[in-house]
Amino acid sequence: MFRHIVLATDFTEASESARETAASLASAFGARLTVVHVCETPAFAAAGSSLAGADLVGPCGEGAEVELGRLVWRLRARDVKVDSVLRRGVAWELIVRVAKEVGADLVVAGTHGRHGLAHAYYGSVAEKLVQESPVPVLAVPRRSELGAGKAGER
């Protein structure tokens, strides 16, 4: 039984499938849902670089606040008990931290389905969550990936 679910979102198509799954689980179990969005700090803005003092995440944060507000409103309209958290930094680390802070017993995250060079460059937040989370992680493929396997690959 789940009492508190964390939904990691980046507002992409991959997050839509995860949002629907998390909302359905929260409704079914009467669980609280905490929606987390992390504005990732670009690697080149690390301390000591010439861009370290620039506001590289401010605009992301403002847009993210609006998107989080819309998402929370839509979930509350479905009678889901929901909170939201906006953080800045490394996504997987902060999602794990929020899950610990709120006492979550499940993390739900979407997957982008990147492979090869794109996966190597961007990494996978969902993959890191699975490796590092102290609670189970449900990695949900985006809708276009559902049922996209070749015949006989299941």
Q: What is the CATH number of the domain that holds 67?
A: 3.40.50.620
Burial of 149 (C-beta count, 10 Å sphere; 0-12/13-18/19+): exposed
pLDDT digits 0-9 by tens, 14-25: 789 999 999 999
Number of separate domains in the chain: 1
DSSP 20-42: HHHHHHHHHHT-EEEEEEEEEPP
Report, as an integer, the average pLDDT of 102-130: 76
Per the domain annotation, does 150 fall within a domain?
A: no
Confidence of residue 150 (pLDDT cuts 50, 70, 90): very low
Asked if 4 and 102 touch (Cβ cutoff 8 Å), the reply is yes
Per the domain annotation, does 64 fall within a domain?
A: yes
pLDDT digits 0-9 by tens, 32-89: 999 999 998 755 554 554 444 444 445 576 788 999 999 999 999 999 999 999 999 9
Per the domain annotation, does 151 fall within a domain?
A: no
> Domain range spanning residue 76?
4-42+55-144
Q: How far apart are CA 33 and CA 67, in angstroms?
A: 16
Per the domain annotation, does 106 fall within a domain?
A: yes
